[in-house]
Amino acid sequence: MGVGTGLITPLGFAALAAGTPAGRLGQTMGAAELGRELGDAGGPLLVATVASLTTLTHGYAVRGLLLALGPALTVVWRRPAGG
């Protein structure tokens, strides 16, 4: 996971910066970093909480579902109103 995060984080931030107007770059990057930090702190807590109530497998399954939910919601929200 560390290698994947180390590779995708700079690419994600570069793509985000390239698509953001210059006047909103600081706000956009700050919000993205806040979200990343919350995930870094909250992910292990979520997995540990679920795992302590059930099993570690279930903890990782919940984490995986939440990770898949983000892109799915983005696709739904970006869908044109007529289609």
Residues 2-40: tens digit of each pLDDT:
787 788 888 989 999 999 999 999 999 999 999 888 888
Between the alpha carbon of residue 40 and those of residues 44, 48, 62, the distances in Å are 7, 13, 15
The CA radius of gyration of the chain, in Å to the nearest whole number, is: 16
Does residue 83 belong to any structural domain of this protein?
no
For residue 49, tell me if it sits in a domain: yes
Tell me which residue range forms the domain holding 74.
2-78
Q: Count up the domains in the chain and report the number.
A: 1
pLDDT of residue 83: 55
Q: Cα–Cα distance between 77 and 14 in angstroms, integer?
A: 23
Q: Is residue 70 part of a domain?
A: yes
Of 16, 12, 66, which Cα lies nearest the Cα of 39? Answer: 66
- Global pTM reads 0.62
